[in-house]
Amino acid sequence: MTDRNEPRDGELLRLTLDRLRAAGVPVSQPPDALDLAVIEADGARWLFGVCDNGEAELIYRPAEPGDPRWLADLATVLLTGRPVLAERDPLPARRGELSTKSAVGVDLRHRGFDVELEVHTDDLFFEVSAEVVATDPDSPDEAVVGVGDRGFLTLRRDFGERHAVDDPANPGYLWLPDLPPVADDIAELVTTVVGCGERRPRPA
């Protein structure tokens, strides 16, 4: 077995890319990038990084913000790994306009997710930015989805946690004995969410 925190020179990403290509996902890897890949699909760009310890980040960057309800659907897939099939309940009424990230946050909270607003300040240049952050209270994976301006979505998740085992020779340390099952989990979610992205509603 291999130490979960020991570098493996991008082996987990290579395994994940093999599975994505086999599934027909249009994925590429920039030169000299050991832990980063790019998916260009249907006018949007997906960036995702995978570390060999199982930690992954997936960023959705649409060409335009899009429908907040659909973005909330996409965030739901990122948090749960399952497509949204059922009819969605109507949202609470509110006067005035909401920003895209605000509307997505209200929708996700209405669906039962834990939602918070994270505010980041830059005291050097006096700038302020904010991100809506959602988690699934029913999921043990501690996946986090951030919703930014212009409809950008970011998933941060530790896919290795469920596959790691205790090292009896080194108490307090975890090991990833086998990377292919971790690559399976990552590729399954990426394939599912990219497929949902291809079905986003078009403006009339």
Domains within the chain, CATH numbers bracketed: 2-86+139-197 (3.90.1150.20)
Going by C-alpha positions, the residue among 69, 73, 15, 55 that lies closest to residue 155 is 55
Residue-wise pLDDT tens for the chain (204 aa)? 445 555 457 889 999 999 999 999 999 988 877 778 999 887 789 999 998 888 999 999 988 877 888 889 999 999 988 777 556 666 665 645 788 888 899 999 989 999 999 998 999 989 988 899 999 998 877 899 999 878 899 999 999 888 888 877 777 777 788 899 999 999 999 999 888 765 555 444
Contacts for 143 with CB less than 8 Å, ≥ 6 apart: 78, 79, 135, 136, 155, 156, 157
Residues 16 and 188: their CA atoms lie apart, in Å, by 9
User: Which pTM does this prediction carry?
Assistant: 0.83
Going by C-alpha positions, the residue among 178, 194, 202, 174 that lies closest to residue 64 is 202
